[in-house]
Structure 1
Amino acid sequence: MSLEAKLVVLGTQGVGKTSLVVRYVNNTFDPASASTIGASFLAKKVIIDDSLVRLQIWDTAGQERYRSISKLYYRSANCGILCYDITSRASFEAMHSWLLELKKNVNGNIIIHIVGTKADLVNAEPSRREVPFEMCVAYAAEHLSEEEGFAVGGGGRGGRGRGWGGMDCCHEISARDDQGVDEVFQVIARKLVERRADIERERAFGSQDPYTRTGNSGIDPIPAGAEKSKGGMCC
């Protein structure tokens, strides 16, 4: 069996969204990667049990001037990944605005995961940490729940299984050192498979709506201005 799913990666400029996605899809890291303009698109296939999951991963720009077009990339998303830099309290506080954007622009029960980036900086110099992991867990407990319309996924801190309520959705990763990156997407892919029936039902409903109609694959076509990254169809 196969499943296609759309993931959007959100967060303020400079937190490392592109590095996270490129490390996962292409297993590379570029410390001088340029800021994303609008959004870029990569894809990867993973096997979860007996299911083939095709992940469409949308890396969105964090600059304020692109916020007005962000909803084009959120539409039909099955999962949102909220990113912050664990050495920047400001980036963590700004993350809430992206969650509100998702709630405003996405219909259906979307999976949310929270990813703290740049763990390598804290591993090398612990005093640089500005966001304790426990703060992320407390935020998730307060703002992410099925009652709020979210399908909270599993996960853990660098794959070590810390979280709240038995439904972990918080991670700390390092794209530079390839720490915890694969675990984030493995957990999300497994949760997507578990929600296959809901996803297919929501997609079928959306295909009847002229404002949210999708193509034959059930995934929105690439909007004008989005960049399909080189090597994006890696599997």
Structure 2
Amino acid sequence: MSLEAKLVVLGTQGVGKTSLVVRYVKNTFDPESASTIGASFLAKKVVVDDCLVRLQIWDTAGQERYRSISKLYYRSANCGILCYDITSEESFLAMHSWLLELKKNINNNIIIHIVGTKADLVNADPSKREVPFERCVAYAAEHLGDNEGLGWAGMDACHEISARDDTGVDEVFEVIARKLVERRQEIEMERLYGPGGGGGGGQSARGGGRDSAVDAANDAEKKKGKCC
């Protein structure tokens, strides 16, 4: 049994989206990593309850000038990871605009998780914290409730991590992967028939519920002969 799922990582510039993804996929950390231009793609395979899950993780640029093209990368995503810096209230407030973008541009029942980054800075100096974890939980309860069809609200949708110290990173993706497996049948139906499932309308222009960005990345990966 296998499952292919698309994850998109969103948030303002400098919150550490790339560091989160690279730490999870490659188990490395580069404090001098450059800002993402457009989007970058990494993949990783994990096993959940005998199901092989291939996570396609899209790390999108946080700069405002890339907003217009970001939607091309998170179209047909199965999970959205909203990131903010726990030492920056401004980044937390800005995160809401990315949630609105997801609601506006994604029709399927997407899973959404919220990740507070740079926990190492607060561990070293608690006075640097500007966003209490409880505030994130309250935000999730208000905006990610099941009544909006946007996944699971509550503490299991909120995380605080440090890519530098490698704390909490694996747990984020483990919880997400498990939820994806729970929704496996729904995800496969959306891939075949588009949001809403069924054999009628709702298919993408490619006819299979998939998007060209993912297909192009998959093709490139196959040509390299690499396996994640």
- Give TM-score, length-normalised by structure 2: 0.89
Once the two structures are TM-superposed, the CA of residue 224 in structure 1 deviates from its matched residue by 11
1:213 to 206, 215, 224: 206
Once the two structures are TM-superposed, the CA of residue 79 in structure 1 deviates from its matched residue by 0.1
Relative distance call for 1:224 and 1:188 in structure 2 (3 A) is closer
**What SS does the corresponding residue of 2:31 show, helix, strand or coil?**
coil
**Matching of residue 181 in structure 1 with residue 169 in structure 2:** yes
Instruction: Report the counterpart of residue 199 of structure 1 in structure 2.
Output: 187
Within 5 A, what are the aligned runs for 1:5-44?
5-44=5-44
Within 5 A, what are the aligned runs for 1:69-148?
69-148=69-148
In the aligned structure 1, how far is the partner of 2:216 from the partner of 2:128?
A: 36
Identity %: 79
CA contact (8 A) 1:44 1:56 kept: yes
Once the two structures are superposed, what CA deviation does each residue of 1:119-148 show, in whole Å capped at 9, x if it has no partner?
Answer: 000000000000000000000000001211
CA contact (8 A) 1:4 1:219 kept: no
Once the two structures are TM-superposed, the CA of residue 49 in structure 1 deviates from its matched residue by 1.2
In the aligned structure 2, how far is the partner of 1:225 from the partner of 1:13?
A: 25
Instruction: Report the counterpart of residue 171 of structure 1 in structure 2.
Output: 159
CA contact (8 A) 2:5 2:53 kept: yes
Aligned length: 218
- Gapped regions of structure 2 (runs ≥ 5): 196-200
CA contact (8 A) 1:214 1:220 kept: no
Once the two structures are TM-superposed, the CA of residue 234 in structure 1 deviates from its matched residue by 5.5
- The structure where helix makes up a greater share of residues is 2
Q: Which has the higher contact order (CA 8 A, sep 6+)?
A: 1
- Give TM-score, length-normalised by structure 1: 0.86
CA contact (8 A) 1:214 1:221 kept: no
Relative distance call for 1:102 and 1:188 in structure 2 (3 A) is same
In the aligned structure 1, how far is the partner of 2:140 from the partner of 2:207?
A: 31
Relative distance call for 1:83 and 1:188 in structure 2 (3 A) is same
Q: What amino acid sits opposite 2:124 in the alignment?
A: A
Instruction: Report the counterpart of residue 198 of structure 2 in structure 1.
Output: none
- Gapped regions of structure 1 (runs ≥ 5): 154-162
CA contact (8 A) 1:26 1:234 kept: no
